[in-house]
Every structure is written in structure tokens, then in C-alpha cells.
């Protein structure tokens, strides 16, 4: 794990950090399942980001203003969120055309989120 990414995640509240680590693990597992290639882990805008060699960047975040929520961001100039809305509709909460919003008390559906992540990871493929 990139040490700078780990430092940032560890600054978040414990429950949020655990959820973001869970999403991170799912990103790598999904990339492996779809033979995406090496994922680059870095910080973008001070947040953990995952760059796919054949897709679009996924960024993870948490904001002090919404302490019970965490976010999975997709590039806003893609159709990824639009596609997720078409497929899953009300199953997710959204932040415009750029993020899925999760509440800490919400159960994470790994299979559904993995599908959403795969849309980004192989976006240019």
C-alpha cells in the first residue's frame, strides 16, 4: 500500500477508514477479476485514488461536513454515474454525476459495488 495513502486513510474516523479499506480491497479484487492490469495507487486532491491502465480513476473520500458518509468518486466527464443510475437507480445515493455516497450504517453490497467499480476500471476498454 502506498504509505501516503495509508496515512490519509488512517486520519479518518476508525469506522470510515475500515470501510475505505474494504472498498480499496474490492477495487483490487475487481481489477484482478477483469484482468485490468496494474492499478496505480496515489493521492489526488489529497484523497486515495486508483488509476486503471484501461479505465478511469476511482477516488475515495470522506468529508468532515458529512462525518457519517464516505464517497466513491468517478470522473465527472464520463457516463459512469449515469450508467449506474440506469442500472441501479435508487439502490444508491449519488452526489451529482461524480460520486456514490455511502452512510457508515449502510450495509455494503460488495457484488453490486464491484460491478460499479468495474465500469470505471475498464471504461476505455
pLDDT tens digits for range 7-66? 999 999 999 999 999 999 999 999 999 999 999 999 999 999 999 999 999 999 999 999
| pTM of this structure | 0.93
Question: What are the structural domains, with CATH classification, of the chain?
Answer: 3-121 (3.90.1150.200)
Q: What is the pLDDT of residues 87-121, one digit of tens each?
A: 998 899 999 999 999 999 998 888 999 999 999 99
pLDDT score of 100: 96
Backbone angles phi, psi at 53, to 5 degrees: -70, -20
Whether 125 shows a pLDDT value over 80: the answer reads no
8 Å CB contact between 20 and 9: yes
Overall residue count recorded for the chain in this entry? 125
Amino acid at each position: 500500500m502506498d504509505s501516503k495513502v495509508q496515512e490519509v486513510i488512517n486520519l479518518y474516523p476508525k469506522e470510515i477508514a475500515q470501510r475505505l479499506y474494504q472498498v480499496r480491497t474490492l477495487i483490487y479484487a475487481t481489477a484482478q477479476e477483469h484482468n485490468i492490469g496494474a492499478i496505480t495507487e496515489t493521492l489526488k486532491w489529497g484523497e486515495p485514488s486508483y488509476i486503471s491502465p484501461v479505465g478511469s480513476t476511482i477516488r475515495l473520500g470522506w468529508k468532515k461536513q458529512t462525518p457519517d458518509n464516505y464517497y466513491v468518486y468517478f470522473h465527472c466527464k464520463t457516463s459512469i454515474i449515469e450508467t449506474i443510475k440506469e442500472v441501479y437507480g435508487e439502490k444508491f445515493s449519488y452526489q451529482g454525476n461524480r460520486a456514490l455516497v455511502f452512510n457508515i450504517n449502510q450495509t455494503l453490497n460488495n457484488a453490486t459495488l464491484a460491478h460499479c467499480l468495474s465500469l470505471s476500471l475498464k471504461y476505455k476498454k
